[in-house]
Structure 1
Amino acid sequence: MSHLQLNYTILEQRFPHVAATVDNSPNDELSEILFTEPFERDTAWLNAAKGVIGNGKIIFVYGFERGLSIADLLELYPDHWLFVYEPNEQLFRKAVTEYDLSLLLEHPNLYWLSVGESQLRIMFHMLSSYMMKDLVFIALRKYLSDDMNMLREVKEQFQDYRQTFLLDKYTENRFREEWTRNFLYHLSDVLYTPSIEQLFYAFEGATVVVVSSGPSLQEDIEWLKKLRPHVLIISAGSSIQALVKHGIQPHLAVIMDGHAVNKKIFASSVTREQPLLFTSSSYYEISDQNCAEKIHSIMKSDAVSQYFFGLNQEELFVFPTETVAGTAIQAAACLGAKRIILAGQDLSFPDNKFYTDGIEHFTAETTDKRVQEAPEKVLNVKGTYNTTDESFSRMKDGLENLIAALPKIDFVNSSRNGAVIEGAPFKPMEEIFEWLAPETVAPDAIADLINEKNIAVDMNKVQDVRDKLIATREDLSNIRSEIAAIHKLMNKLREFSRTKPAKAQNMVESIEQMWGLIANREWFSPIFESIMPIEIARFDQVLPVIVTEHQLTRKSDLIYEHLGKLLQDIAAQIPILEEMFSESIRRLDKKTDSDAVIHKDI
């Protein structure tokens, strides 16, 4: 077996994403790309690294070359986990082709490996998941001498990613029960509605107006009435209230928010008669009550639905953003928009107003307080400044990043009192109307499309989802018993670690095996990372400390404290999940029975 075949077999097992990169890398001689890593131990570099590493258990190593320095680090720091990133795909292929790296690639403390720029974000995700405090960042000598600017940029990118990662975790934690319930309760509706991906580019070349709820919308309501025959109008979240109040029916209403406050937004029967795009995270009762045509979107962040439908992120179009307007923009892009007009997207408090007229789901007292306490200023399209706050600033950054990610679409900001939006130059609605007057859109364009598609329900998929729901609900009871068995062992672990170390060592191994049987279930991560994200994240951060601890009494204390607490938290969630699963099954059966009656009548 060649070096490449041997190394590739291990990569397929441990780091399949890297194996795919090796597959796709050209098989060149690479005579112009040379290894600079010496065969003898680079003592000066290792001494410099020692001063950086300290007590941190996670080391991010920038560079792999032929793995010699990585092997030295693994030998010198047996109680650390290495996360290694090699930016040069061709250089990595040369290394796995010319050298037997099997022992290195199999080493358990080489915890993660990424190769090439496309795998940098997944490296950031893994680092953010497991590191507890500051990042220990080490670069191979080659990159220290050649790419200092790149190294600084990567460190800055990681800090930005980690900040967003932590914010997302706390957001997930805040809405964890709501979102998990919405994911599970939406399964039935998702099975019986077309996805946004199934309507891909159905309106190629169209102009779409994405309507938000900012104060500027009030000044452009009449222009929106005039524009409706010429553009697709998509309402984002609460803006549907303002539109229907003024007699404007959006071609599509988009809902992403998972909170019950949406019952107030969609309280009017007129709002529930518009075609609806609901995300799997959105409040489930709105989809239940909607009387018109529906489309669904499973978010890239929704691992629960992805598990039950057997999907992966690459098959999905929409990813979460800071605002429902971001969801509406992605829906417009999926439908094939060539131009997107942003209306009512103020991202600030022009004239100390929060919403346009007609938005009534929050009390004036609540919105006035937020306006009065707004601590920041942002440049508006008139060249002056509006007050704003951190939440709107994050929304603005998120929208600007989304706009930058869609370079083939022309964006225009029509919000005449709102914040400047990079990538969306300001144009007043009257000028936009002159542009778009020649274009025409059918009054019920999206509703007609959904009805024309008439996508048949896959009853095999319905049964498969139902079977998974039932099996998972039953397996929750098994986990309850397995947790009880682990706790029984744990109750004696710390005492035995001090009095009967051999027995304690056997107990540690048994606990690790029993925990592995729980955590390695296919459905475990999607469900429990959804309903208890902070608890899982905190355990992930302490896991390197537990795994690399060799002192038995200390290891036993760590297992008792951290795994014991996590198991208690999991056990507390099981009754809640069992209730959710039972209701999800009931909803699916009700939908299936209703569908059967309809087909029988036909």
Structure 2
Amino acid sequence: MWGCQMEQDNAITSTMEDIKLFLPKLVEACETVGNLFYEPVTQETWQQFGEIVEGIDDLYKTLRAIEYEQNKPSNYHFYEDAIGQGIHNISDKFKTLNILVDEENFTAAGDFIHYEMIAVFRRLLQQLGEPLLDQKQRFHLNMEFLKETFPKVYDYLSTFPYEDNGNSVILSRNGLPILCVGTSGKTVHLHSSYDPIHEADRWVAQLSDKLKNKSTILMYGVGCGYFVLRYASVYPQHSLYLYEPDEQVMLAALRAIDFRELCKSLNIAGFTVGEAAQQKSEMLEYVSFQREPEIVVFPVYRRLKAEEMHAFFQELKSIVTKNANVVHNYNKFGLNWTRNSMYNLSKLLMTPSIAGLQGAFKGVTAVIVGAGPSLEHDIEILRQLKKHALIFAAGSTIQSLLHYGIKPHLIFSIDGSEANVSVFDHLDIKEIPLMFAPMLHYKIIEDRDDHLLHAYIKDDTTTTYFMSLTDEAPVFLPTHSVTGTAIQAAVFMGCEEIVLAGQDLSYPNEKVYAEGSKHFSDDILGYIIGQSVLQVENVSGTMNRTSQSMLDTLKDIEGILARFPGVRFVNTSRLGANIKHTVFRYMEEVLQSVNAKTIDDHIFIQAIADLPLYKDEKLKQVYSQLERLPSEMQECTKHLKNIVRQIGLLEEASRTKPNKCLSLIASIDSSWSEITSNICFKGLFLRACAGELKRFEVELPKLIAAKTILEQTAFYVKFMLPLAQSMFELCPDLQEIISESKSRVEGIDRFSRS
């Protein structure tokens, strides 16, 4: 049955292709006969007229046969109106033509053929579109072009078969190819069915105010390229990032237009197709680093792809925010984080890893406490809860807990800033176990040896390199707040119910913290509230004041919770924001549910005491790398200085001395290769200069795409020179960090004995 359907589909499709090939011949014959009717009518006139009558009759009968066919092809809906109109118009016009001929009004008959009959056939040809053979040949040439110019797009599109039941190529009234798509049982033209160029011109004109002072444009939707082409003609200086979200639309467009010619007219900085996560994310990463990119949308997509477009914009906004934070934070803290990780190497070697506690607290409820205003309402119940559940203090929350006389079972701290030092300054916490990440400010733990436990955070390239971490080592995802780290650690340790307390993640009643929090002055807290003009729904269904950074933190925590569907998450923050993937319960209910269990006050002290330390071989391995660093840093400094000097020479040589320019480029590349293979780059620069390196990495495709010496020179001057200068300026600081880190490891008792 299915085979018969396919044969029928193929038969009708083949017939329609025959019609497409027949119509131009019919038009040509009609033009000849129309001209003959302006002259005295001869036997030849009647013979040729008879031939076109026979052709018109065959066409009419064929169209009627297709219309009456029960088993139509799956893409027939694109042509249904055209065939119906063709049948009606041929019948109607043919009757009129016969009357004119019967009346021997031959001049009028010639006019009618020229201006009425031929128009019907041309319109039908436009509606049916080009022959499939022509489309397939164009598609093949376009794919070869993509393979050479945009190989990732080629590889991606090669995995998709063309679905002609979802899209179709027809011709507009002025003869330009346009795309039709089937959606919700309807056929929608992606471009004007009359004049797509005029439509594109009007669209570009209304964008003029929006695009003033812009240089980078992300185009959401390409279609047949008319909008892109007209845009480029008005703004040739703009760098265009083209994104076509619909693979089938792109495949259809490659059949409709010469994509090679289109690209010749465009300043394309990037081109991506489809919703595939990797392809799209790579493009968004790249765009996010461009200065104030502007997004313009293929007009019809605002209606057809409203939901997808909204999700796309949200993803771009998230990536822009994330990368802006990465660059800002690493530019501001990169060196300090590197220092912390290096100075804390000695502490890592002297303390156990959380790896030994995997699943150790299965069946035990963990309460992760934040310092939000809700904490004040639950503090007395929390005091009782400590006897029945694990109490984890998230970072600065320890101030509020100690203010109320509650010592948690464990403190989590990962913040590497000086502000975090002030949080722990003068606090008596040496008897409270503390779990730290290597990026924690070294001053917080440098005078402490007991009850410490460490965990690793992804993206800490310094620790990963020098501790030679493998995939087997537990490594937690970086998060916006220490709460996210505590959640991951609690899950790792086997807790199947995790309670969030004091995690308001907003500013209820215009308050930032619970009582006892002292690391911010009243003026700063007032400023935070004053700047928080956004709203977020709270657990009661009303709204709390919040800020963008707090919303980002909330979303980040929700993302962490979503990764653990098998864990029950309970939110008890009665004034706080509603948190996805949690159920809200009052703290009293939580206490009742765990009342039968008993938790020893010193449970973590005992657990840490039983954990093994790293073996002496690990200590020696780390120290041997530290010993190499001073000489390796000298090599890096030499190569960086060479790069800075040679890029200065390169700019001048590129204008008049191409051979010298090529020699300089080769030398620069050689020096950079030496730097990136150096242990100082892998262990120090990757973290200390992560912001600059990220930007450089994003821009690197421009060097690969550079076709002239001038383009290559521009890249080295604009992107590599600032990076090399920044790295060079850090070398003295990193030398000091190397020396102090080596001294700290040498101070370990086990090291001196070994």
TM-score greater than 0.5 by the shorter chain:
yes
Shift of the 215–154 alpha-carbon distance from structure 1 to 2, 3 Å rule, reads closer
Shift of the 456–568 alpha-carbon distance from structure 1 to 2, 3 Å rule, reads closer
Distance 2:512 2:539 in 1: 17
Letter in 2 for 1:369: Y
The 5 Å alignment of 1:298-377 reads 298-311=456-469, 315-377=473-535
In the alignment, which residue of structure 2 is the partner of 1:446? Answer: 604
Give the conservation status (yes or no) of the 8 Å contact 2:619–2:751: no
Give the conservation status (yes or no) of the 8 Å contact 1:300–1:316: no
Letter in 2 for 1:595: R
Aligned residues: 535
Q: How far off is 1:121 after superposition?
A: 8.4
Secondary structure, aligned partner of 1:175? helix
**Among 527, 548, 554, the residue aligned to 1:390:** 548
**Among 579, 595, 598, the residue aligned to 2:750:** 595
Matched, 1:474 2:474: no
Deviation readout 1:192-217 (Å, 9 max, x if unpaired): 22222331111012100001111221
Q: How far off is 1:57 after superposition?
A: 7.5
Shift of the 379–132 alpha-carbon distance from structure 1 to 2, 3 Å rule, reads closer
Q: How far off is 1:59 after superposition?
A: 6.3
Q: How far off is 1:310 after superposition?
A: 2.1
Matched, 1:285 2:439: no
Deviation readout 1:507-553 (Å, 9 max, x if unpaired): 22322232232234455255324222333233334433344233323
Distance 1:83 1:465 in 2: 44
Distance 1:503 1:314 in 2: 49
Matched, 1:191 2:346: no
**Among 724, 727, 739, the residue aligned to 1:570:** 727
In the alignment, which residue of structure 2 is the partner of 1:96? Answer: none
Shift of the 478–329 alpha-carbon distance from structure 1 to 2, 3 Å rule, reads same
In the alignment, which residue of structure 1 is the partner of 2:669? Answer: 512
In the alignment, which residue of structure 2 is the partner of 1:404? Answer: 562
Matched, 1:435 2:593: yes
Q: Which 10-residue stretch deviates more, 157-166 or 270-279?
A: 157-166
Distance 2:315 2:321 in 1: 10
Distance 1:510 1:558 in 2: 15
Letter in 2 for 1:545: K
Distance 1:64 1:513 in 2: 41
Matched, 1:251 2:406: no
Q: How far off is 1:451 after superposition?
A: 1.0
Q: How far off is 1:166 after superposition?
A: 2.5
Rg larger in structure: 2
Distance 1:533 1:221 in 2: 41
Distance 1:402 1:274 in 2: 26
Letter in 1 for 2:738: F
Give the conservation status (yes or no) of the 8 Å contact 1:130–1:540: no
Q: How far off is 1:165 after superposition?
A: 2.5
In the alignment, which residue of structure 2 is the partner of 1:11? Answer: none
Give the conservation status (yes or no) of the 8 Å contact 1:80–1:544: no
Deviation readout 1:417-443 (Å, 9 max, x if unpaired): 222222223222112111110122222
In the alignment, which residue of structure 1 is the partner of 2:365? Answer: 207
Distance 1:129 1:337 in 2: 38
Q: How far off is 1:328 after superposition?
A: 1.3
Q: How far off is 1:502 after superposition?
A: 2.3
Secondary structure, aligned partner of 1:386? strand
Shift of the 128–50 alpha-carbon distance from structure 1 to 2, 3 Å rule, reads closer
Shift of the 268–568 alpha-carbon distance from structure 1 to 2, 3 Å rule, reads closer
Secondary structure, aligned partner of 1:261? helix
Distance 1:353 1:582 in 2: 45
Letter in 1 for 2:656: T
Shift of the 57–189 alpha-carbon distance from structure 1 to 2, 3 Å rule, reads farther
Secondary structure, aligned partner of 1:271? coil
Deviation readout 1:581-601 (Å, 9 max, x if unpaired): 11111111112xx2357x79x
Letter in 1 for 2:571: N
Shift of the 536–219 alpha-carbon distance from structure 1 to 2, 3 Å rule, reads same
Shift of the 126–195 alpha-carbon distance from structure 1 to 2, 3 Å rule, reads farther
Secondary structure, aligned partner of 1:273? coil
Q: Which 10-residue stretch deviates more, 579-588 or 476-485?
A: 476-485
Give the conservation status (yes or no) of the 8 Å contact 2:288–2:320: no
In the alignment, which residue of structure 2 is the partner of 1:264? Answer: 422
Matched, 1:524 2:669: no
Give the conservation status (yes or no) of the 8 Å contact 2:466–2:683: no
In the alignment, which residue of structure 2 is the partner of 1:418? Answer: 576
Matched, 1:583 2:740: yes
Distance 2:425 2:437 in 1: 19
Identity between Structure 1 and Structure 2 (%): 28
Distance 2:586 2:393 in 1: 19
Q: Which 10-residue stretch deviates more, 54-63 or 213-222?
A: 54-63
Higher RCO, 1 or 2 (CA under 8 Å, sep at least 6)? 1
Give the conservation status (yes or no) of the 8 Å contact 1:59–1:138: no
Deviation readout 1:303-349 (Å, 9 max, x if unpaired): 11111122256743311211111111111111111111111111222
Q: How far off is 1:138 after superposition?
A: 13
Secondary structure, aligned partner of 2:610? helix
Q: How far off is 1:579 after superposition?
A: 0.8
TM score, norm. by length of structure 2: 0.63
Give the conservation status (yes or no) of the 8 Å contact 1:131–1:541: no
Distance 1:554 1:46 in 2: 30
Secondary structure, aligned partner of 2:523? helix
**Among 503, 520, 536, the residue aligned to 2:660:** 503
Give the conservation status (yes or no) of the 8 Å contact 1:61–1:138: no
Distance 1:137 1:374 in 2: 30
The 5 Å alignment of 1:9-408 reads 34=161, 51=229, 56=239, 119=278, 123=282, 127=286, 134=293, 153=311, 156-311=314-469, 315-408=473-566
Shift of the 59–430 alpha-carbon distance from structure 1 to 2, 3 Å rule, reads same
In the alignment, which residue of structure 1 is the partner of 2:59? Answer: none
Give the conservation status (yes or no) of the 8 Å contact 1:276–1:292: no
Distance 1:576 1:582 in 2: 10
Distance 2:379 2:524 in 1: 25
In the alignment, structure 1 segments of 5+ residues that lack a partner are: 1-14, 20-29, 38-42, 88-115, 140-145
Distance 1:238 1:147 in 2: 45
Q: How far off is 1:85 after superposition?
A: 7.5
Distance 1:166 1:558 in 2: 22
Shift of the 402–515 alpha-carbon distance from structure 1 to 2, 3 Å rule, reads same
